[in-house]
Amino acid sequence: MNPIKSLRDKASITQAQLAESGATSQPTVAAYESGRKSPTINTVVRLAGSVGLEPSIEFHPPMTREDRRSLSLHRAIAQRLMEGPAEVLTLARENLARMNARAGESAWLKEWDLLLARPVDALLPVLADRSPWARELRHVTPFAGVLSAAERAAVYAGFREKEFDSW
pLDDT tens figures, 90-109: 999 999 999 999 988 799 99
**Is position 56 within any domain?**
no
Could you report the per-residue pLDDT of 40-87, keeping only the tens digit for each?
A: 999 999 999 999 999 988 888 999 999 999 999 999 999 999 999 999
Q: Are residue 74 and residue 109 in the same domain, yes or no?
A: yes
Q: Are residue 70 and residue 142 in the same domain, yes or no?
A: yes
Residue 78 structural domain: 65-165
Q: Are residue 160 and residue 99 in the same domain, yes or no?
A: yes
Q: Are residue 160 and residue 84 in the same domain, yes or no?
A: yes
Q: Are residue 83 and residue 160 in the same domain, yes or no?
A: yes
Q: Are residue 24 and residue 70 in the same domain, yes or no?
A: no
Q: Residue 1: what pLDDT?
A: 66
pTM of the model: 0.70
- Tell me if 77 sits within 8 A of 88, measured CB to CB: yes
Counted domains in the chain: 2
Q: Rounded to whole angstroms, how far apart are CA atoms 162 and 42? A: 29
Q: Are residue 104 and residue 130 in the same domain, yes or no?
A: yes
CATH no. for residue 46? 1.10.260.40
Q: Which residue, 111, 86, 75, 80, is CA-closest to 96?
A: 111
Q: Where are the beta strands (DSSP E) in the chain?
A: none
Q: Are residue 140 and residue 71 in the same domain, yes or no?
A: yes
- Tell me if 56 sits within 8 A of 7, measured CB to CB: no
**Is position 58 within any domain?**
no
